[in-house]
Amino acid sequence: MSPPRPHFLVLTYPLQGHIAPALRLARRLLAVAPDALVTFSTTEAAHRRLFPAMPEEVVDGPNAAAGGRLEFHPFSDGTEGRYGGGSDDAAEFSAYVASFHAAGPRSVGELLDALASRRGRPPVTRVVYTLMLPWAAGVARARDIPSALFWIQPAVVLAVYHRYFHGHAGAVAELSRRGDPSLAVELPGLPPLPVGDLPTFLTESTDPGHYFHPIFITFRDLFDALDEETPKATILVNSCQELEVLGALAAVGQHDVLTVGPVLPTGDDETSIFKPDDGAKYMEWLDTKPASSVVYVSFGSLATMGREQLDELLLGLEESRRPYLLVVRKDNKQALLAEAEAVMGERLKSGIAVEWCDQARVLSHAAVGCFVTHCGWNSVAESVASGVPMVGVPKVSEQSMNAWLFERQWRTGARARVDEGGVMRAAELIRCLEEVMGDGPAAAEARRMAEVWKRVVAEAMGSRGSSYCNLLAFVDGTTRSST
């Protein structure tokens, strides 16, 4: 008897930084397994932002793509779409996370049952879920369906979380209390790490009164859930083994860890909850610029920029005398002072500003010579894959660890210092741009290493590469386990 057709349910939290890699993994699964089906699911509110043109009655139905092998079905977070994932109010954010964890398991369970009852389509044979869904494995296990966590950050970050929740929380807390971010944390199997570079959810959010405390609790529950999996949990990591710090994969040895990335955009089918400005205009503008001359600046889908930071950023960009492409999201503009947009327009002499753009296309353009980034892993991975040196301005989550990776391990960029108010001053931006784009030896080394790592990533994702082979092994294992 032939094995059943593999059918993956890919679940993700409703933030762009989670949706993008999860959807890229979904398409990657389809590419390596020509007979596979994938159902992609996020919350109803995020689903409607992904597909705004669809009529209401179609949004909750089977929306097929990739020749009918990829479908989109949302699940409920209990809010009926009133709140999609981000708020400045701590109580509202905490209430949302609580609702997500209460309603999500029920709704995903109903979705799995509905998919199993359809005629002509196989039931789900593997659940794949991203961060913030610690309950997903239990929902799958209750239906005898194996699951896998898709870790959307590098493996060294996974190893840090794993060590923290397995006996080393006290050591991290003690060093954090000393107030010196340069103090090194010794975690088994890992190189010494500056405590200031550890994920902020482990160093700042442990206080019950902290805004992100619900995220800390969610990570704790996630690692508890991984420990409950038998014989061991499967974790897919959005990185390749060649990019990882020596010892990082072994440090999570009690789980079955497979590097399958970094998963990257596949072209025009990239889907986002943010809609880009007219791509022709900014791409045509890039076409007019010399090779490796443009500074691309984007602080991602979550970070908001205060007026003071915008002023310093524009001052530094203009005084650097380099052309630049600056992303300032529409919601970010609305959060600034009323006259900020007009002032910004007056000061844009050497560059242009857009509300959102196709980042992968921009980074792959020959004119781009540097990426000033918040250091989210998606952005860092896309920059590495494009061979573009970086200037890092990390703020929250694992962003400082990502900056540590490209600055200290890969030597493809520089990290900007910020003042006590968290603002990167114009002079500091100019210093960093010179360090990665100037004529000196540091810039030459950053450019050389960026090209080296670009080739490494391309080989890992190629048909005989480490990440490709790991993903193929995962698919094969899914097929065998369902027979």
Q: Is the dihedral of CA 324, 327, 333, 336 positive or negative?
A: negative
- How far, in Å, CA of 139 to CA of 164, rounded? 26
126 φ, ψ (degrees, to nearest 5): -155, 135
Q: Which residue in 71, 67, 5 sits closest to 36, CA to CA?
A: 5
3-state secondary structure (DSSP) of residue 260:
coil
- Determine the length of the chain: 483
CA angle at residue 399 from 304 to 227, to 5 degrees? 120
How far, rounded to the nearest angstrom, does the alpha carbon of residue 426 sit from its chain's CA centroid? 27
- How far, in Å, CA of 82 to CA of 76, rounded? 11
Q: Which residue in 373, 384, 366, 382 sits closest to 451, CA to CA?
A: 384
* Catalytic residue selected from 18, 73, 101, 374: 18
3-state secondary structure (DSSP) of residue 185:
strand
Give me the residue label for tokens 């709704």. 107
How many C-beta neighbours within 10 Å does residue 177 have?
10
Give me the residue label for tokens 């959807």. 23
230 φ, ψ (degrees, to nearest 5): -125, 145
Query: Catalytic site residue 18?
Result: yes
Helix extents (H) in 81-182: 90-117, 136-141, 155-163, 169-177
**Integer CA distances (angstroms), 433 to 62, 296, 312, 439, in order:** 47, 11, 14, 11
Residues marked as catalytic? 18
